[in-house]
Amino acid sequence: MPAPNCIFCSIIAGEIPCTKVYEDEHTLAFNDINPKARVHVLVVPKTCFDRLHESDESHTQLLGQLLIAVGKVAALTDITRSGYRVQFNQGKGAGQEVFHLHAHVMGK
């Protein structure tokens, strides 16, 4: 069941379409609808979780899988040689709009 009002949960549930880049049991990666770089992919855990500063050891697997998926997305989108940025916006003050943890993977 997607969390109410969480757009990324709706994408994970297939209720909102996306351009999928990578998927495994624990993560989904799809193109950002409003890209700020030639490659701009969002990598999200399938479990709705938001705040890094509230994470603890129980989130070790989730966060590890997310970062592994980030690396796979970088390889799949061919940005490993040009270099890429990985950004987590945390909180409205940092520009966060969607409150479901996600990594922005951005490369040329």
Q: Which residues bind ligand 5GP (CB under 6 A)?
A: 7, 16, 18, 30-34, 42, 89, 95-98
For ligand 5GP, the closer CB: 31 or 47: 31
Measured CA distances, 67 to 26, 43, 44, 70, 105 (Å): 11, 9, 10, 5, 11
CA atoms of 39 and 37, how far apart (whole Å): 5
Spot the catalytic one: 40, 100, 102, 104: 102
Residue with smaller CB distance to ligand 5GP, 34 or 58 = 34
10: tokens are: 């709706």
Query: Known catalytic residue: 102?
Result: yes
Using the minimum distance from each CB to ligand 5GP, give the nearer residue, 33 or 75: 33
| Residue 34 exposed, middle or buried by CB count within 10 Å (0-12, 13-18, 19+) | exposed
Give the nearest distance from C-beta 33 to ligand 5GP in angstroms: 3
